[in-house]
Structure 1
């Protein structure tokens, strides 16, 4: 990194933090601190909802996901627009009518205190883990690539977030996320068009898509019913729908965003905005990753994008074998480049040469084999290292091929995204702890100022917990998948509670409480068995909670009052 990159990075981050503190200092009461005094316009609600979900993991991992596996990951979001409509019709009107600070307040009014507390605790566990991951993800990658200290990175990101969230609460999150989304999308659009500019001169965007298609990167929709396939149309439209319904409808990090809206209509418009823009945004980020793949068909590409893996191998007896694989990859890359240029010539003559296409597929297969052999050697050199390099693809491209100045902007994009999602997570954790746990169980009357200060203290405590978790975290197969896995393990069960509360009126507190306990334990076991894609856990968890609750209500908890209610229905 050059001096100009450092200047752009530091100025961007400090400007966002300073602006957030300045605009939102001095919250008057709990409503102001947690709900932003219900002054948020619909477009800010929409941007805040998008920024909360679009963490640094999105911009680090998603392009790498597309580089390796193509555009199919976009199917994960197919159920999201439908979920937005359901939430706008059911969840938002109920939350606003009851004037709740958190989603879980509703559960006590519908069921009882222990059900509210259980749902709140499940949320605190998964969101605590998720917030730690949003800090850890950019830290592990940037520390690996740039040589920065991992612990210092975790602490830096955490402190920056804590400063303005403690100062201004929800309003500070909303204000800063507008700036962060501007930085994020500006950086991504500039990068996308630069990639296209770096491609060979006689190569059109259409040619680039043909090359991506020849390498199976443009298979967007898969209608397979194979339950072991992670991303299909059916898993996206069902599992993705239930995940989005749970995340946006019951996760306080999102509920808090639209509860701050000026009115029911403003909140609904903000969510509809998210429903309309989220899939195109993810499609664009994935397409950027595919264009990075096309770029590397004409430029030098590492055998493994994680530089630490090569360092680890070079210190062992496997160094020579690894170097031989690298030499083979260089030869293969030259052959691919020549073949791709020839393929482009044919495309420019409106001829998609099937022979060349098959040859390109064959070379891609050989490259995959070389990479798998490299992973075996890396594992032999250090069996504790993560051989999967998806999360390092995009940052490798940024640091090695983007011009000075833009590198600083893209790093600001990554850190801004980390800050935006972490800030939403911390405010949600703090408000849930303050309102659902602390205030609900505190005896005596306390002032609004007391609860504002308590929420600030909980924000600080959760910030420290998130930093500590980030400092002891471990890198899984792919960070974007890990975050979604953590959510899927918990979200389905919590969603089931809310769906029963909204739509199945005869089910009462005892039945839903024990149904939640049983279904959550069942989901843990199903995930441990690894028999279905994690996306299906959302659907399974919700259905288990609903079905078991109904069965318990009809059997064990079938009181005379319940019988009367059933007959009325």
Structure 2
């Protein structure tokens, strides 16, 4: 078990990150005009655009949370990305030709030409709010990692990571972000392939890769497609294709952190090819990352796993008055491990259908143990939670006594469901710690440093894109647009650098106040879904509703944003549907207002 990093790991980690930061700073030194600093001199080839777009989206959260999501719930999360290829085609046919023809620096410049200044400013502000929050979370995620590795304070780590990103982003602007993202994606691909190879090699020799897939399938983790129309289910084919398409349209078509990546292309064809490249590669990439998480799950069928992957939480509850209860759970899980190890071997060698059924049942029971451990942890750190826990425990005991005649499988599934529903009130999620715990405890020296470099590279690439875009929007759409006189390109570049520094500091502050949600990757997507549907609707009104004027759109957007926030707070629907909902609502309200607004007030 690795308690500290070996010198080889430190060498690999520091050399990788120093090379990326140094290369980005050196390659883009001395840029003086806005064309070079903000649009990267329009020199990017299609593969650079494609990798840059992927790197912007592939933050540290992707590798921490996606693997944790697969470990806990399986491959179904890949359905979230089913709308991405559709969105790429639409953006290539509609958005890119328009942006290229107008030669815009930001996506929101177009809105002033089509509507008015206040609509442009409102949309830019909506972007700044949601992307500013997301930038903080992308710093916070890798800080979690290093806090586990180094034992450092998370606030200190937020500052260190943020400063590293600020150095080359302030120095080189868009081009620095783009050229470093190529290197970051190569590191990411190499590291994830190595991780998959190693985790498969750690599974017993008599268990083949196909057998490992079969074991994962026995517990429902290989269920990729869900065609149900259940609105309570976050990830189905329909939420991915419909809700996902609207989310991706808004993200890649109107979010400046992505628009800025392909606006740096040499030509419209290079921009389009870059997005198509992303559309073809992104879904397989996410499938691959989820598969790594599933293989880690299979690994733990043959190796003991902790009840909770957060060491600090485990130590806290063991030292509390609930320590004995927690140890009882640990002993129960240890007994389960012996049984599931035997069943997993039986399933892989004899293809025993009874072993498959029992393994599924044991997995359900283990999930209930893990969730019950979270309640014990919550009770240990939050005394006010005692009443909630006691009520839950009474319900569990009633269920157990009422289910004596029920089958083993039905009873265990009912327990798991009860704990899962109640766990929505907890803040003890450990999914995002699973992969880093596995890396530190089970991977060989050298590869640990590479995997940490992968996750930190991903964090740096996405955070750099975000603060670069935030600075550009602030500089071009708000600051420069409202200046009474043009102060020239040198002044614009200078102010954009200052705004980059400012947004970097804001992101660090947000990261310092962040905390683990149910799952970090879900938190980022939830934040986006609250704003993206409204923003996409504004752009669709601009593209396809020529009779709609500025005042109707502006008022409609304000009303829509309030409705979407209320809908999210009251949990009207799964968050992915908020993208479609917000888009439809703003289009409907703007069309209605256009009929009733006095003609003389139209913009």
Instruction: Confirm or deny that 1:213 pairs with 2:217.
Output: yes
1:382-531 equivalent positions in 2, closer than 5 A: 382-383=381-382, 386-531=427-572
CA contact (8 A) 1:510 1:557 kept: no
1:369 deviates by 1.7
Deviations 1:284-340 (A, max 9, x none): 000110000001000010001111210110221000111111111111101111111
Aligned equivalent of 2:56: 52
Mapped partners of 2:294, 2:177: distance in 1: 32
Aligned equivalent of 1:354: 353
3-state secondary structure, aligned to 1:223: coil
Give the TM-score normalised by the residue count of structure 2. 0.91
Mapped partners of 1:18, 1:141: distance in 2: 23
1:149 deviates by 1.9
Deviations 1:215-270 (A, max 9, x none): 00011011111111111111111111000000000000000000000011000000
Mapped partners of 1:114, 1:147: distance in 2: 48
Mapped partners of 2:25, 2:365: distance in 1: 54
Mapped partners of 1:444, 1:422: distance in 2: 32
1:375 deviates by 1.3
1:57 deviates by 0.1
Mapped partners of 1:295, 1:234: distance in 2: 32
Mapped partners of 1:365, 1:394: distance in 2: 21
Mapped partners of 1:363, 1:430: distance in 2: 51
Larger mean Cα displacement after TM superposition, 337-346 or 272-281: 337-346
1:388 deviates by 1.4
1:197-346 equivalent positions in 2, closer than 5 A: 197-346=201-350
CA contact (8 A) 1:17 1:176 kept: yes
Structure 1 stretches of 4+ moved >4 Å:
557-562
Aligned equivalent of 1:185: 189
Larger mean Cα displacement after TM superposition, 550-559 or 166-175: 550-559
Mapped partners of 1:303, 1:402: distance in 2: 20
Q: Which one of the candidate residues 124, 127, 135 is aligned to 1:123? A: 127
Going from structure 1 to structure 2, the CA distance change for 1:467 and 1:560 (only over 3 Å counts) comes to closer
Aligned equivalent of 1:195: 199
Deviations 1:346-366 (A, max 9, x none): 1xxxxx322111111111122
CA contact (8 A) 1:511 1:557 kept: no
Gaps of 5+ in 1: 347-351, 563-569
CA contact (8 A) 2:47 2:274 kept: yes
Mapped partners of 2:577, 2:361: distance in 1: 34
Going from structure 1 to structure 2, the CA distance change for 1:145 and 1:376 (only over 3 Å counts) comes to farther
CA contact (8 A) 1:87 1:245 kept: yes
CA RMSD of aligned residues (A): 1.3
1:371 deviates by 1.1
Gaps of 5+ in 2: 386-425
Instruction: Confirm or deny that 1:372 pairs with 2:379.
Output: no
3-state secondary structure, aligned to 2:74: helix
Deviations 1:71-130 (A, max 9, x none): 000000000100000000000000010010000000000000000000000000111001
CA contact (8 A) 1:129 1:469 kept: yes
Deviations 1:465-484 (A, max 9, x none): 11111111121110000000
Give the TM-score normalised by the residue count of structure 1. 0.96
1:556 deviates by 2.2
1:174 deviates by 0.5
Mapped partners of 2:493, 2:369: distance in 1: 57
Aligned equivalent of 1:533: 574
Mapped partners of 1:561, 1:169: distance in 2: 38
